[in-house]
């Protein structure tokens, strides 16, 4: 009888890809894998942790403690921990939570298979997402030196995957019925620099777009400094490259950008947004902003509010600064913004964004947009336009009693109504 392994993934989609690779290894070695079960009860549990910010770290630690208790009670046999948190705090975790059989870092988790089997074989990555979309990680690590960020400490230097390896992976997914691809990295626009000193992201996306069967390509985690303008040309010219980009801007005041070590100015950021909208008409920009960074004045925050009103981001997330040990800001700045001020600024910023989102969503009413159906839920089919990534962006709700729809299929959909975030629609013609 096959041993059952429960894989629990915390944090971002980049971690999800690592979990899928690990599941492929387990499967090739005769194990039965279950991913993110609501009631894990396998003999072996593997937790893939996140260590990005304080909330994420706490969530990962709570998960480890929960399964450590399950092991003590005999509900699981073995418990292993991998990922970003384990990479950074391996010794501390081993001391504080000794019930875990072994801790692995972010990159040495294949050793887990070797530890379970004296010899092992590798297998193809196991897809845990719905078959119609997949995440493609094009690089690992980050060479940026943002003052607040612990990611480079965890992941190390930027390492690009070979372009042919990435394209082969996309072809493999297409052969299995996948049509939508979320392109991810710690820093997307840096792709290729470590290979020959040149940015190759535009070339990669262009060649990916030329693969037969690729319907949508969506770009995540770009960086504003030294943005490769040729990527905008690819987005504009290739119909299957979604008019969507995820680019974390963090702030707008020169005081904050300088203190954050963002290598970009206020003027350059305004120019970037203007050029994106000019060169790719209809582009939807997702960004992340930060409030409460050490030294942020009310004037700095007001600049951020003014910028948000001007930019009218289609999607925006925000978070309050939390100090990460080992980073430049932790070593050199005092976390001097009171928590209540951070929260107040965060609330004000998100209230503004809610207003903007409501207005932008209402502008889609009456338009016919291609929508990919992700799932059926209650009385609705739940789908997304090309301007929305899975799980994080607004969805389109289509009444299920109108006609049967197929999950993973793209339908031309008339948008009939809107809310603050989500849209309502009715299908017109198959696409």
Distance CA 306, CA 205 (A): 33
Q: What is the CATH number of the domain that holds 177?
A: 3.80.30.20
Which sign does the torsion angle of CA 325, 331, 336, 341 carry? negative
Number of domains within the chain: 3
Parallel, antiparallel or unpaired: strands 368-377 and 410-418: antiparallel
Boundary of a domain, candidates 85, 116, 147: 116
Q: Both 147 and 99 in a single domain?
A: no
Q: Which of 271, 276, 268, 290 minimizes the C-alpha distance to 246?
A: 276
In a domain, 122, yes or no: no
Distance CA 28, CA 127 (A): 14
- The model's pTM is 0.91
pLDDT 10s per residue in the chain (431 long)? Answer: 468 888 888 877 888 898 898 888 888 888 888 888 877 777 888 888 887 666 777 788 888 888 888 888 888 888 888 888 887 787 888 888 888 888 888 878 778 888 887 567 778 899 999 999 999 999 999 998 999 998 888 888 999 999 999 999 999 999 999 999 999 999 999 999 999 999 999 999 999 999 999 999 999 999 999 999 999 999 999 999 999 999 999 999 999 999 999 999 999 999 999 999 999 999 999 999 999 999 999 999 999 999 999 999 999 999 999 998 899 999 999 999 999 999 999 999 999 999 999 999 999 999 999 999 999 999 999 999 999 999 888 999 999 988 899 999 999 999 999 988 899 999 985 54
Q: Residue 382's domain spans which residues?
A: 368-430
Distance, C-alpha 154 to centroid of its chain: 17
Contact between residue 166 and residue 160 where contact means Cβ atoms under 8 Å apart:
no
Q: What is the CATH number of the domain that holds 382?
A: 2.40.50.140
Instruction: Kindly report the length of the chain.
Output: 431
Indicate the helix (H) or strand (E) that contains 332.
Answer: helix 328-332
Q: What are phi and psi of 247, to 5 degrees?
A: -140, 115
CA distances in angstroms from 273 to 227, 287, 305, listed in the order given = 11, 11, 16
Q: Both 351 and 384 in a single domain?
A: no
SS3 175: helix
Q: Both 341 and 377 in a single domain?
A: no
Which pair of structure tokens corresponds to residue 172? 């493999």
CA distances in angstroms from 253 to 35, 293, 295, 345, 364, listed in the order given = 42, 12, 12, 15, 32
Q: Both 169 and 295 in a single domain?
A: yes
Q: Both 77 and 28 in a single domain?
A: yes
Q: Both 242 and 306 in a single domain?
A: yes
Region of residue 30 (left: phi > 0; alpha: psi -120 to 50; beta: else): left
DSSP secondary structure of 347-411? HHHHHHHHHHHHHHHHTTTT-EEEEEEEEEETTEEEEE-TT--TTTS--EEEETTSS---TT-EE
Q: Both 309 and 391 in a single domain?
A: no
Distance CA 377, CA 388 (A): 18
Vertex 53, ends 47 and 59: CA angle to 5°?
A: 40
In a domain, 126, yes or no: no
SS3 290: strand
Distance CA 240, CA 237 (A): 9
Indicate the helix (H) or strand (E) that contains 275.
Answer: helix 266-279
């Amino acid at each position: 009888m096959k041993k059952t392994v429960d894989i629990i993934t915390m944090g971002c989609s980049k971690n999800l890809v690592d979990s899928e690779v690990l599941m492929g290894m387990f499967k090739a070695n005769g194990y039965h894998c279950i991913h993110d079960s609501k009631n894990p009860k396998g003999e072996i549990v593997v937790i893939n942790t996140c260590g990005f910010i304080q909330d994420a770290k706490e969530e990962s630690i709570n998960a480890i403690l929960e399964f450590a208790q399950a092991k003590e009670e005999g509900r699981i046999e073995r418990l292993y921990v991998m990922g970003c948190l384990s990479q950074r705090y391996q010794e501390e975790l081993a001391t504080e939570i000794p019930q875990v059989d072994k801790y692995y870092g972010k990159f040495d988790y294949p050793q887990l298979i070797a530890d379970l089997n004296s010899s092992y074989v590798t297998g193809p990555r196991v897809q845990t997402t719905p078959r119609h979309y997949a995440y493609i990680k094009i690089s690992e690590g980050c060479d940026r030196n943002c003052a607040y960020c612990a990611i480079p400490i965890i992941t190390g230097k930027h390492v690009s995957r070979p372009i042919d390896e990435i394209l082969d992976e996309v072809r493999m997914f297409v052969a299995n019925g996948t049509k939508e691809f979320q392109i991810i990295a710690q820093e997307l626009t840096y792709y290729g620099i470590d290979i020959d000193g040149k940015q190759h992201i535009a070339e990669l996306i262009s060649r990916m777009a030329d693969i037969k069967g690729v319907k949508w390509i969506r770009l995540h985690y770009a960086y504003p400094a030294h943005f490769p303008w040729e990527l905008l040309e690819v987005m504009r010219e290739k119909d299957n490259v979604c008019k969507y980009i995820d680019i974390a801007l963090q702030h707008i005041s020169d005081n904050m950008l300088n203190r954050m070590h963002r290598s970009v100015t206020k003027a350059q950021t305004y120019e970037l947004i203007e050029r994106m909208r000019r060169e790719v008409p209809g582009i939807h920009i997702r960004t992340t902003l930060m409030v409460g960074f050490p030294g942020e004045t009310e004037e700095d925050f007001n600049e951020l509010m003014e910028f948000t009103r001007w930019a009218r981001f289609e999607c925006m997330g925000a978070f309050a600064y939390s100090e990460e040990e080992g980073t430049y800001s932790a070593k050199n700045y005092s976390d001097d913004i009171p928590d209540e001020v951070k929260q107040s600024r965060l609330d004000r910023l998100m209230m503004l964004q809610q207003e903007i989102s409501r207005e932008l969503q209402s502008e889609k009413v009456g338009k016919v947009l291609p929508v990919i159906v992700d799932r059926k839920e209650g009385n609705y089919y739940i789908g997304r336009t090309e301007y929305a990534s899975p799980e994080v962006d607004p969805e389109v709700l289509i009444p299920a009693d109108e006609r049967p729809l197929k999950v993973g299929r793209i339908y031309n959909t008339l948008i009939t109504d809107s809310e603050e975030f989500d849209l309502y629609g009715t299908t017109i013609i198959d696409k």
